[in-house]
Amino acid sequence: MYNNYKNIAKAIHIPYFSDDDIHEAIRLFRRNNGSLYHTYLLRIKAILHRKIKRIDQRKINLLSDNKYAERLLAISAKNNEVLLVSHEMTLTGAPRALLTLGHTLKMLGYKPTILALQDGPLTIEAENTGIPVCITNSDILYPLISNIHTEKEKNIIQRVIDHFPCIIYNTIISVDILHNFINNNKSYIWIHEAALCYKYLRISHDEIVKALKKITNIWIVGELARKTFNTFTSNAFHTDNLLYGIPSLSPDSNSKKNDTTPTLSQNKINILFSGMMGQRKGTYLLLDAVKQLSEDEKSKIQIHIIGGSLEHKITRLLNAADSNVIKWWGMQSHDFVIAMMGKMQALICPSLDDPMPIVCTEAFQLGIPVATSDATGTAALITQDVDGMVFKADDVNALAETLRKLINLSPEKLKAIGHAGMNIYKENFTMEIFSRNLSRYFPAIPK
């Protein structure tokens, strides 16, 4: 029974659903041997009702709410209306990149609307910046969505898809929408994914290839994502490289009165590790690498980990870690992450499979030295020990040596690496570059 559950749960990657919830759900499963799947759905709904509560308790714009759907569909479709389809609205990289794309489309004269398959904290941020968001259903998980949608909801989604003259599907996960709904519009898909995501797609390889043939253009975020996509599709499609853009960041924009970040020790090198803590992000690897450091080396380093945990074991390990060496801050706002990043001497990214982590790009912009594994798309942009550091992925010894290098480098050398890394941002990820690249597909509309 547990193995059956794990097969379902492997497809899930959201910060609201942790292994603590898994174990709570399993206790229910054991009392419902005859209806494991049904009990799973009910439990997920209960968990998300509890965890995805808005701070301001405002009403969520659900497509299943007929009045909201009718208001959305009452807008007369024009050539500048663009629908952005996102599998979730969490604070993870792909949804954040899509929101930036939406802002860029607005500057180019288009009117974007986000159709999200799962609610999350990014919804508020989008709507506060003038981009409407509608949720297909806020109390179910996307990997199960086409199995649970009522015919009424499916009809509304189809009407929304038909309404917009242009659609951008974000991530390979969105291919499920392409598969399940008719799409005769001009359409694009933006591929960000690592290899693991392809492993747990719910439709067959042939169905995915057939669905992708409906797409006008396929965008890829970097060469690592392209290699993964081409391997999966056997080089069946032409792809265009479209790196995301990162808006200008200012870690010092908050006044000291509003700054909720801690004062950090000036006698240690402070290193940031940010993301959803799981095996793919290299969390276990980092914890093991720290164990290889001598006591003297540990006394000189403070690793700040920001992000929720995807696994119960990682939760226990992070809670039990020596806070003088590893400090886990849990899930925090993006503003908190950026404010903390501005106080760091380095950022570490030990991912095992990560096409183009946004946190590395943000560190480049702020002049924070980046040390990343060679299993990230970021690694290909780095000149070793000049504008960053690259170490072998899934190699605890290589990671431990990188930590030692960060400890032993002079403050001047670290600052020089961070300053040189700013050019990686300036040459690849500025909003000006992103806007110029996006305008090849969406020419600016004269005001």
pLDDT in tens, 414-424: 999 999 999 99
Q: Are residues 219 and 360 in the same domain?
A: no
* Number of domains the chain is built from: 3
Least confident of 148-157, 162-171, 256-265, 421-430: 148-157
Q: Which residues span the domain enclosing 22?
A: 2-51
What is the pLDDT confidence band of residue 120, given thresholds at 50, 70 and 90? confident
Q: Are residues 220 and 330 in the same domain?
A: no
Quick one: angle between helices 283-291 and 312-320, nearest 10?
30
What is the pLDDT confidence band of residue 5, given thresholds at 50, 70 and 90? very low
Top-confidence residue, 217 or 48: 217
Does residue 136 contact residue 63 with C-beta atoms inside 8 Å? yes
Q: The whole model's pTM is what? A: 0.81
* Sign of the alpha-carbon torsion through 352, 358, 364, 368: negative
Please report whether residue 59 resides in a domain.
Answer: no
Q: Which of 22, 62, 64 is nearest to 43 (CA)?
A: 22
Cα–Cα dist 273/114, whole Å? 30
Q: Are residues 46 and 72 in the same domain?
A: no
Q: Are residues 278 and 215 in the same domain?
A: no
Per-chain mean pLDDT for the chain? 82
Cα–Cα dist 64/118, whole Å? 13
Q: Are residues 135 and 220 in the same domain?
A: yes
Top-confidence residue, 82 or 252: 82
One-character DSSP codes across 94-115: HHHHHHHHHHHHHHTT-EEEEE
One-character DSSP codes across 245-310: ------TT-S-TTT--SPPPPTTSEEEEEES-BSTTTTHHHHHHHHHTS-HHHHTTEEEEEES-BS
Chain-centroid distance of CA 142 in Å reads: 15
Top-confidence residue, 47 or 279: 279
Pairing of strands 389-391, 269-274: unpaired
pLDDT digits (tens, 9 = 90+) for 188-215: 999 998 888 888 787 888 999 999 998 9
Q: Which of 195, 159, 198, 196 is nearest to 176 (CA)?
A: 198
Top-confidence residue, 230 or 55: 230
Q: pLDDT exceeding 90 applies to what percent of the chain?
A: 55
Q: Are residues 41 and 74 in the same domain?
A: no
Q: Are residues 83 and 184 in the same domain?
A: yes
For position 163, what pLDDT does the model report?
83
pLDDT of 65 above 60? no
Q: Are residues 83 and 223 in the same domain?
A: yes
Cα–Cα dist 306/138, whole Å? 26
**CATH code of 113's domain:** 3.40.50.2000
For position 331, what pLDDT does the model report?
87
